[in-house]
Structure 1
Amino acid sequence: MQALGRIRPAGWLATPMPTDPAALLVRARQALTADHPGVNGRVRLVSARYTAAVFAVHRPEGSLVLKLHADPAAYAGETLAYELLTDTAPVARLYAEGEESLSLLMEHLSEPADWTRAEMPALLAESVAAVHTASPRLPDHAAEAMAGFSLAALLDGPAPAWIADPAAYGDVLAAHLDAYGPTLVPLGHLDLKPEHLRRRADGEVVLLDVESVRPDVTGLIDLVTLPAVLRQAGHELSPDRVRGLYLDATAARGARWTADSLKATLRTYAAATGLESLHGLDQ
């Protein structure tokens, strides 16, 4: 998996998040005052790392999630992801963003998905497929803004710097063009974990943490990740079954994959990225 990400040296971020919880709470209060006036309540630190911190804002009318970024690029990327997906895929809702504080104000979803349900593997595959196929459902203004990241545009441009085999990556994009058409923006690279599926009060299952969604790479790594995520959640499915769930979910959203074309594209994707294992999904 290391081939899919660049390893950054220690200290790469000039202004990392504080490590002191009290300082983090001060930062959260400052963000609410600066960029989210009128949002008041008890603020609780949920998690903190070098690049970002997450807080729950508890209010009588309903809790919210406040996320602060230390890296402007990460903030911009996550904001873009939620703006693209909030109305087109089952993800947590983004309510507001704050450029001054690099903050996002989002839906609070405290109820975990019920992984004991037999239909959960299919629901996960459908959620992933909804992200991968989100761009045809974008409003016109967003589709126009993202046209430079369409398959047609990417095929004419250079491969990302981290790609091990640019020619193979071109073949991956060509296979996606056959499956989806030239206007698809290939959103992908979700941070998939069992705990990142939550349930709304009406029972809808949604994805949390879509900060890694990128409009310049395909989402095949999400498919490769599915068997491990399902295993962690207590669902041991064969590679054939996992692939079948993804084929069904993407076909329902207009894709023209076949089992053979998807398996061949997965193998090409591994060659393009240096990925060492496809967990049997290409067999």
Structure 2
Amino acid sequence: MITAPATAAEALTGLARVRPAGWLATPMPADPAALLARARQALADDHPGVLGRVSVVSARYTAAVFAVHRAEGSLVLKLHADAAAYAGETLAYALLADTAPVTLLYAEGESSLSLLLEYLPEPVDWTRTGMPAVLAESVAAVHTASLRLSDYVAEAMADFSLVALHGAPAPAWITNPAAYGEVLAAHQDAYGPTLVPLGHLDLKPEHLRQRADGQVVLLDVESVRPDVTGLIDLVTLPTVLRQAGHELSPARVLDLYLEATAARGASWTAASLKAALRAYAAATGLESLHGLDR
């Protein structure tokens, strides 16, 4: 199941698969007081040394985010209502923490399905020189992260590598398995057989933050999956950049992505990447590539 983020829906028309209402048995409570009570209980149960005032940052059906305000430095507490989403996000951090510019994960709480994360209140200055390239580089770092895994983690993720996926049945959300096979084959040509094709970032301008030293960091990696591939994020890049005030041609966006992935070990060409994009659209039902394939 893929659900397009609201800001990327324009770019992903035809691909989103919306879950039916009521699919989650125990969703996050809608009442603010109940949300705060749940957050305080999670801290007490799984993070007893973390004390401070708690405030709600965001809340939705499947998850809620809180700030824990402490004199020694604030933290972010994220609670999941869905155990599979919690497991997926903890796995994403395990894969990306040392290889891509993502939020730091400090602690996990399995009983409360909670994560303690780095607090990054400073939004990115999108007027900074070169921000489109910075975004492309950040996304490419995620897409190529599995090329830089330790031997132990790479071995643990072997069942999700390109060579393993290529020999397995296509995921249920794929509408054209043959075209999906072309997508995987193109990735294998570009990266080699051991890549775990991570993709499906929840890209939106507000999900980029910066640290005090100016480093740009991607927030919210819970949706990253090892079967969607990074092409879904490439398709959303022009839309996200336009929302952030950068109107780039599709050709320029494609060039930025080619440069960023090449710097991290990929061997895409413009022709092979465009062919992969066309196969991806055929495999998923995506209605438009927004000029990226021309």
Q: Cα offset for 1:3?
A: 4.3
Name the SS for the 2:92 alignment partner.
helix
Match of 1:246 in 2: 257
Q: Cα offset for 1:19?
A: 0.8
The answer to whether the aligner puts 1:197 opposite 2:208 as a matched pair is yes
Q: Give me the CA root mean square deviation.
A: 0.9
Q: Cα offset for 1:4?
A: 3.2
1 or 2 for the larger relative contact order (CA 8 Å, sep ≥6)?
2
Match of 1:19 in 2: 30
Q: Deviations over 1:4-24 (max 9, x none)?
A: 343211111111111111111
Match of 1:117 in 2: 128
Q: Cα offset for 1:2?
A: 5.5
Aligned residues: 283
The answer to whether the aligner puts 1:37 opposite 2:48 as a matched pair is yes
Match of 2:6 in 1: none
Distance 1:74 1:109 in 2: 22
Aligned partner of 2:80 among 62, 69, 84: 69
Map residues 174-253 of structure 1 onto 2, 5 A cutoff. 174-253=185-264
Q: Deviations over 1:133-167 (max 9, x none)?
A: 00011122211110000000011001111111100
Query: What TM-score do the two structures reach when normalised by structure 2?
Result: 0.95
Distance 2:149 2:52 in 1: 34
Task: Please tell me the residue identity of whatever aligns with 2:63.
Answer: A
Name the SS for the 1:22 alignment partner.
helix
Distance 2:214 2:230 in 1: 26
Task: Please tell me the residue identity of whatever aligns with 1:146.
Answer: M
The answer to whether the aligner puts 1:84 opposite 2:101 as a matched pair is no
The answer to whether the aligner puts 1:51 opposite 2:51 as a matched pair is no
Name the SS for the 2:107 alignment partner.
strand
Query: What TM-score do the two structures reach when normalised by structure 1?
Result: 0.98
| 4+ residue segments displaced more than 2 Å | 1-6
The answer to whether the aligner puts 1:274 opposite 2:285 as a matched pair is yes
Match of 1:260 in 2: 271
Name the SS for the 1:4 alignment partner.
coil
Distance 1:18 1:224 in 2: 34
Name the SS for the 2:72 alignment partner.
coil
Distance 2:189 2:276 in 1: 11
**8 Å contact kept, 2:13–2:287:** no
Distance 2:13 2:289 in 1: 14
Distance 1:2 1:101 in 2: 35
**8 Å contact kept, 1:3–1:162:** no
Unaligned segments of structure 2, at least 5 residues? 1-11
Task: Please tell me the residue identity of whatever aligns with 1:178.
Answer: D
Match of 1:10 in 2: 21
**Between the two proteins, what is the percent identity of the paired residues?**
82
